[in-house]
Chains A and B, each alone.
Chain A
Amino acid sequence: MMFLFDNEQKYDYDGVLRLLNTKTNYYPYFKTTDVYYYFVNMLKALVASKPLVLLDSDINPFEIEGLDESKINVAECISSSFFHNMEEVVSAVQNSKSEITIFTSGTTGQPKKVVHNIQTLTRTVRIGDKYKGQIWAYAYNPTHMAGLQVFFQAFENQNTLVNVFNKPREYVYRQIIEKGITHISATPTFYRLLLPFEQSYDGVVRVTLGGEKSDPRLYDSITKIFPNAKINNVYASTEAGSLFASKGDCFQIPEAIKDKFKIFDDELLIHKSLLGYSDSFKFIDDYYHSGDLIEWVNEAEGLFRFKSRKNELVNVGGYKVNPSEVEDVIMGIDGIKQAMVYGKANSILGNVLCADLVLEFGVVLTELDIKKFLATQLQDYKVPRRIKFVEELSLTRTGKMKRL
């Protein structure tokens, strides 16, 4: 059975099994662009119940407070168990005691660590005969929550993954046909890039959207491109993993975890038992304030819609950016007097990140200078795509920086 297609490479489950049985080390802090070795390293850690920190391939170590650069890509010896087949591996993964650390763009300062166990990461994974033989387009960053969700859903059923993350439209369509893709889970931005409709792809039976608000027009187009697909939405967060799936244009709180949610001032509060662990989480009476504002459609049935966000995180193509983190880095450039970073509504990414900058007197800097510098300090999605030089920033009446 094939495990993964990545560019021209293909990897089967026998190869994964062989590597797990022969490798005598793993990387607790692994930074790589090779998605196969990334997955094998993660599995190696999980089956041995060893801790793992998931790092984006383009991350700069100083983007994360307290991350020791010298630990990155340093192997650690590991005692090896022998697995006779993949079923034994899947079972070991399900029972893993590993602590898996991922990062969330907190509402202040730098990204914050969130520690998960396998139970929170695989809460919504479904296993069984009806899930066998699925072929998944892998369209998410593998270190982020949504990417982990898709990985475990596919892996625990020994499905095939086809890596299409950040790949151009023609490549994605070619893979859908050549590899016989049946399932796609991706951000609305990913689907927008598949437009306009040119022909239909009948083999795709399930299309899932997550990560940002989507719009009805996009649904219409997806229905044309994938006429046999059921379409649904998922709500997942770095803090809590996957929590709800959609029902029509609403989300529904599952009956089993209904008592773990509260609504206060329209804000969705999540009980701490559903979350990973982080020093940055603040609880009020054991509930975490998600920052997501919702409205009930049918409170008795747990049906609701998302309205907006309470805090200032900007959703850029499914990535959440904390504008104050970007402003702090910009202020580190010589000659910048003031900076304001904000999101501007955009038909491709949902929001595009923009910066208005005030230069000190006599200083000459170009948009390119700023971008080049930021590229050495921040991950690509955090670099503002439009930089305007202004005489002064608009301030609100209270004197606070105004975000548009």
Chain B
Amino acid sequence: MEKLQLIINSIRKGKNLPELEDITPEMNLRSDLEFTSFDLAELTVKIEDEFDVDIFEDGLVNTIGEIIVKLGK
């Protein structure tokens, strides 16, 4: 969760958005985190670097909780 938060905040900083102090499973990547397709692509690459999992490989994920499930597999 901490590593995921670091990754998410590194993407938000790159877009001049404030860092999040907390992330919760129900947060939506697009509406709550304000991620575009380019941001989601960056997220997948960085998660792949860190965890060796392509979270979008078999269909799109919408929430932080869904990412955590994929990483737990």
Q: Which residues of A contact B (CB under 8 A)?
A: 166, 168-170, 189-190, 192-193, 195-196, 221, 316-317, 344, 346-349, 352, 354, 367-368, 371-372, 380-381, 385-386
Contact = CB atoms under 8 A, between A and B. Distances in A.
11 contacts: A166-B36, A170-B30, A170-B31, A189-B37, A196-B60, A196-B62, A367-B14, A368-B10, A368-B13, A385-B41, A385-B42
A169 B30 contact: yes
A155 B16 CA distance: 37
Given A317-B37, A347-B56, A352 B10 contact: no
Given A193-B37, A344-B45, 18 more contacts: A166-B36, A168-B31, A193-B60, A195-B60, A196-B59, A317-B41, A346-B45, A347-B44, A347-B56, A347-B57, A348-B37, A349-B38, A352-B45, A367-B14, A368-B13, A385-B45, A386-B42, A386-B45
Interface residues of B, number: 21
Interface string B14-55: 100000000000000011000011101110111001000010
Nearest to B30: A168
Contacts of A193: 30, 37, 40, 60
Contacts of B13: 368
Interface of B: 10, 13-14, 30-31, 36-38, 40-42, 44-46, 49, 54, 56-57, 59-60, 62
Contact of A348 (B14, B31, B44, B46): B44
A352 B60 contact: no
A169 B63 CA distance: 13
A347 B38 CA distance: 11
A346 B44 contact: yes
Contacts of A221: 59
B10 A348 contact: no
Contacts of A166: 36
Contacts of A371: 14
Contacts of A381: 38
A347 B54 contact: yes
Contact of A367 (B10, B30, B56, B59): B10
A310 B57 CA distance: 27
Nearest to A346: B41
- Residue in B30, B40, B54, B57 whose Cβ sees the most chain A Cβ within 10 Å: B40
Nearest to B62: A196
A192 to B, nearest CB: 7
Contacts of A168: 30-31
A42 B45 CA distance: 39
Nearest to A349: B41
Contacts of A352: 41-42, 44-45
B61 to A, nearest CB: 8
B55 to A, nearest CB: 9
A347 B41 CA distance: 8
- Residue in B13, B54, B60 whose Cβ sees the most chain A Cβ within 10 Å: B60
A1 B12 CA distance: 41
Contacts of A347: 44, 54, 56-57
Contact of A354 (B10, B36, B45, B60): B45
Contacts of B10: 367-368
A221 B49 CA distance: 28
A252 B10 CA distance: 45
Contacts of B31: 168, 170
Contacts of A316: 38
Contacts of A344: 45
Nearest to A351: B41
Contacts of B38: 316-317, 349, 380-381, 385
A40 B56 CA distance: 40
Given A346-B41, A349-B41, A380-B38, A386 B46 contact: yes
B35 to A, nearest CB: 9
B50 to A, nearest CB: 11
A313 B38 CA distance: 18
B54 to A, nearest CB: 6
